[in-house]
Amino acid sequence: QEASLRLQPDIVIATPGRLIDHIHNSPTFTLQNIEILVLDEADR
């Protein structure tokens, strides 16, 4: 997953927990250029 994020994809689909994990543990992953962020936890 981290290797795929290095390619700077246009769309990333992740649970909020997994997204937080990548923010904290993947040095190349950043939310700096995010224009739109959609979080869906309606099933909880």
**What pLDDT, on the 0 to 100 scale, is given for residue 24?**
93
29 occurs within a structural domain: yes
Dist. CA 2–CA 9, nearest whole Å? 11
Task: Give the model confidence (pLDDT) of 13-43 as tens digits.
Answer: 888 888 899 889 988 888 888 788 887 776 6
Residue 17 lies inside a defined structural domain of this protein: yes
Give the number of domains in the chain: 1
| Amino acid (one-letter) located at 34 | I
pLDDT (0 to 100) of residue 43: 62
Owning domain of residue 32: 1-36
Checking if the pLDDT of 7 tops 80, the result is: no
Q: What's the distance, CA 29 to chain centroid? A: 8
Q: Does residue 43 fall inside a structural domain? A: no
Residue 42 falls within a domain, yes or no? no
